[in-house]
Structure 1
């Protein structure tokens, strides 16, 4: 006799709807269903089916997209067993246990104060790849129901194998997931990298990357960083798509900068200009320049694209050193340089406008800047 199997089945009111249709073997045992009981119900023509190792679908038809997602997480994660709760009815003796486990019986919806307990808990497993992009509502991602495989991130130390419609993606560092439709989902940039790693279609890769940036899901720099981490930039079709992505991201950031200046009533600057000393060296290009106030704005759209071959951190350090030298040189000449990232323009344009306005207003309190030649870039 299995002493871990309760003599009385537990009620299922604390479970959400999908948990009553897709359950793991540990949950079945917790609710009074033995392995033999489950095997009997999964026989040909039976009311249940085993769709993944240790994961059961409590109806005979094909699984829905939602059920496949939750089955994937049950298989790949480490679901936390719910704390034991007593049955409201007297427990029958072992011989009186019902032949059909109550997991297939309807229950009343959970009360509002049970909402937290009703959410599935799947441990260390996060949906990624094309399935995650579909959950992020990417128009260029295939619908969930059409996917042959669902990618799921797990820690590298997990002793599991890909099986059925589940493809494991092992990682040294799990990302902080977003919860979409009750499912833990990888952030867009990470999901993109995991999807691109399994795509050979250059057009599909380009569509996904373009939508990520153009649709405002994330910035080009974060996508390139994840592609670099995944060592995907040695594939020509990915490199070509990334070149377009970076150009797309910069164009969007420039449009947001134009809009910020207009929307917050800042004086019109000179756009996209090079600065030079008279008869002297090139000082560098800036995205906006107010010559009367000697204030420049530069968009920080740096993105490392060859870090896997030359050392990602070393390349970023070199890029930052060049930016810092340029800024220091301009400020020694009395020019205030404001660096703005595309993300800040997207998420906090009002704050960035205030920073620029403050720099313009403070110009009267500074010593006059050196004369510089302004040329179109």
Structure 2
């Protein structure tokens, strides 16, 4: 692979070699290489190059995408003692170089680079990115420079790890990417792939976009509406599949329940009239207070259960991750109906 070869997430190598090619000034000092000697190595036509302030690439020629990622993390991470010498920098005699590769502290790849690492086909390939976004704590004294764009945050996320690299979880990476995008189609493609590809739930994305104060942008609002609709469609398909594959009796789908001559009791996604069992999917709408939304769900559930109707509350994540278990929950509720007092009669209307 030459230095211009596009790099896919699966092509990233283990960190055992990369930390010999991308080193910090602190690591060099620990190996006895001072600033003057490092600068001499980086002279025009020399064997090394300074890729970012305090970060050196110990070979000539363009950096690979892998090297750029590690360079950005090395630049943004809190300084640590060297644990592995650079290529061409000899270890201490007899040391055998038993030290592990350095870890990156308080630095997490985010934005489009993170989405590419998570496997998003709608995110640009790493070599095409002029800058790589990296999250750091808000009070860190760092500036964006070269290929590193510093993104400050008051709350560092718990990173996922892709081939050893700390990467922001998909919802946070999406929010950081969307913050820099003005192309409505690009935003919609990323959000749609996040849900359709099973990377995350719509509610998690909406939560991050809300915290990032991005829901006042019209093109983001439109994309979020499409995201929620996509999430509900996928969840409904999973619900149909659950009934079909696990032999549950056919319900009536997507109906409103109403007391005869009385108030509307609300809609449910599936209802078994003979057993008085309802299934409701939790696909909460965006831009509404989550506590208020949950209170609305709870009030409707309490009202139905006072009438003798059992309500099974299912999230899209549960359908995706444990379909058989959710089928068992519904089957148990149906079987238990004969042990309950008869439910009040309710009218069932198409929704």
State the distance in 2 between where 1:205 and 1:317 align: 27
- Post-superposition offset of 1:103: 2.7
TM-score by length of 2: 0.91
Q: How does 1:93-172 map to 2 (within 5 A)?
A: 103-104=87-88, 118-172=100-154
Among 245, 261, 269, the residue aligned to 2:227 = 245
Shift of 1:278: 1.1
State the alpha-carbon separation in 2 of the partners of residues 188 and 106 from structure 1.
40
SS of the aligned residue for 1:159 comes to coil
Stretches of structure 2 that go unaligned for 5 or more consecutive residues are 1-14, 92-97
**Contact 1:225/1:303 (CA < 8 Å) preserved in 2?**
no
Which of 172, 192, 205 pairs up with 1:190? 172
Q: Give 2:193's aligned residue.
A: 211
Counterpart-to-counterpart distance in 2, 1:42 and 1:30: 18
Please give the residue correspondences for 1:173-184 in structure 2 after superposition, counting only pairs within 5 Å.
173-184=155-166
The number of residue pairs the alignment matches comes to 332
Partner of 2:271: 289
Other-structure match for 2:67: 67
Measured against aligned partners, the alpha-carbon deviations of 1:121-155 in whole angstroms (never above 9, x if no partner) come to: 01110000000000011111000000011000111
2:319 pairs with 1:319? no
* Aligned mates of 1:102, 1:252 — CA distance in 2: 49
Equivalent residue for 2:56?
56
Normalization by structure 1: what TM-score? 0.85
Q: What residue in structure 2 maps to residue 230 of structure 1?
A: 212
Aligned positions of 1:361-372 closer than 5 A: 361-372=335-346
For the residues of structure 2 that align with 1:262 and 1:81, how far apart are their CA atoms?
A: 59
After TM superposition, the structure 1 = structure 2 runs for residues 217-366 of structure 1, keeping only pairs within 5 Å, are 217-305=199-287, 315-366=289-340
How far apart, in 1, do the equivalents of 2:219 and 2:90 lie? 51
Deviation digits for residues 250-275 of structure 1 (CA, Å, limit 9, x no counterpart): 10111111111122221111111110
Displacement of 1:81: 2.2
Check whether the contact 2:256–2:349 (CA below 8 A) recurs between aligned residues.
yes
Quick one: distance in 1 between partners of 2:121 and 2:159?
21
Partner of 1:103, secondary structure, is coil
The answer to whether the Cα contact below 8 Å between 1:130 and 1:191 also exists between their aligned partners in 2 is: yes
Inter-CA distance 22–58: structure 2 relative to 1 (3 Å threshold)? same
> Which structure 1 residue ranges, 5 or more long, are not aligned?
1-14, 85-100, 108-113, 307-314
Tell me what 1:39 maps to.
39
Q: Deviations over 1:146-188 (max 9, x none)?
A: 0011000111111111111111111111111111022110111
Q: Distance in 1 between matches of 2:178 and 2:291?
A: 27
* RMSD of equivalent CA atoms: 1.9
Is the radius of gyration larger for structure 1 or structure 2?
1
CA–CA distance in 1 between the matches of 2:208 and 2:196? Answer: 18
Say if 1:264 and 1:106 are closer, same or farther in 2 by CA, change over 3 A.
farther
Match of 2:76 in 1: 76
